[in-house]
């Protein structure tokens, strides 16, 4: 199992650049090499990590709602207090996750991230359990030029280490 995880970490580290059209914006990302890409709607992009035909992990990058304010105007509404704005963004992401979880058992991890480069963002990791299924999740919300973007990423819990590496690389590559 350790050899498989090491191999997957090496494979996941490889990627190639792509430009995704989302909500009228061109967003550059590095797609994990060996993952399958597909698109359900114009603003809904998926990267699937498959083991044969079995889904191991998924990254979904999509547009949320519009907020109708630039990031500068939004920050001005917080009297320039970026920590307060990012704290509210983080809380909003957690509330969104909890609201969408239904009857799933959630256990938030200790990895929480907020920042303003390249745009305002908040990210959290958590474990999601439903029936006998257990998943690791790493979700991020971005605010860019009045538009909300989400990266909803999850995998089977046993593949957390390799998956976290791939998703972190993907998140680090996003350029609005």
Long-range pairs for 69-76: beta carbons < 8 A, 24 or more residues apart: 69/146, 70/145, 70/146, 71/119, 71/120, 71/143, 71/144, 71/145, 74/120, 74/143
* Band of residue 82 on the pLDDT scale cut at 50, 70, 90: very high
pLDDT band at 85 (very low <50, low <70, confident <90, very high): very high
φ/ψ of residue 68, rounded to 5 = 70, 15
Give per-residue pLDDT as tens, 100-150: 988 789 999 888 999 998 899 999 999 999 888 999 999 999 999 999 999
Q: What pLDDT score was predicted for residue 63?
A: 95
Q: Is the whole model's pTM more than 0.75, yes or no?
A: yes
Question: What are the Cα distances from residue 124, in Å, to 49, 96, 110, 140, 142?
Answer: 21, 11, 8, 7, 12
Q: Where are the domains of the chain?
A: 2-173
Nearest to 75 by CA among 87, 61, 57, 59: 87
Q: Return mean pLDDT, the chain.
A: 89
Q: Are 127 and 107 in contact (CB under 8 A)?
A: yes
Does residue 153 contact residue 2 with C-beta atoms inside 8 Å?
Answer: no
Comparing 6-15, 46-55, 63-72, which segment has the lowest mean pLDDT? 6-15
- Fold for domain 2-173? Protein Transport Mog1p; Chain A (3.40.1000)
- Nearest Cα neighbor of 139 from 71, 92, 86, 81 is 92
For residue 33, what pLDDT is reported? 84
pLDDT digits (tens, 9 = 90+) for 48-57: 999 999 999 9
Q: Give the pLDDT score at 147.
A: 95
Q: Is the pLDDT of residue 17 over 90?
A: no
Once rounded to an integer, what is the mean pLDDT over residues 80-102?
Answer: 94
Rounded CA-CA distance 33/119 in Å is 25
What pLDDT is attached to residue 16?
A: 63
Q: Are 43 and 160 in contact (CB under 8 A)?
A: no
Alpha carbons 54 and 103: distance in angstroms, whole number: 24
Residue 72 and residue 80: Cα distance in Å, rounded? 9
What pLDDT, on the 0 to 100 scale, is given for residue 101?
Answer: 87
For residue 15, the model assigns a pLDDT of 54
């Amino acid at each position: 199992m350790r050899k498989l995880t090491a191999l997957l970490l090496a494979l996941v580290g490889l990627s190639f650049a792509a430009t995704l059209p989302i909500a009228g914006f061109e967003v550059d990302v590095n797609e994990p090499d060996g993952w399958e890409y597909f698109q359900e709607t114009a603003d809904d992009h998926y990267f699937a990590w498959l083991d044969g035909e079995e889904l191991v992990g998924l990254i979904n990058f999509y547009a949320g709602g519009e907020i109708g304010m630039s990031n500068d105007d939004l920050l001005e509404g917080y009297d320039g207090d970026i920590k307060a704005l990012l704290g509210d963004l983080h809380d909003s992401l957690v509330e969104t996750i909890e609201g969408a979880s239904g009857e799933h058992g959630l256990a938030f991890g200790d990895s929480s991230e907020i920042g303003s480069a390249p745009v305002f963002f908040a990210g959290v990791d958590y474990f999601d359990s439903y029936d006998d299924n257990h998943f690791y999740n790493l979700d991020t919300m971005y605010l860019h030029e009045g538009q909300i973007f989400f990266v909803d990423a999850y995998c089977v819990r046993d593949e957390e280490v390799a998956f976290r590496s791939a998703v972190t690389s993907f998140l680090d590559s996003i350029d609005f």
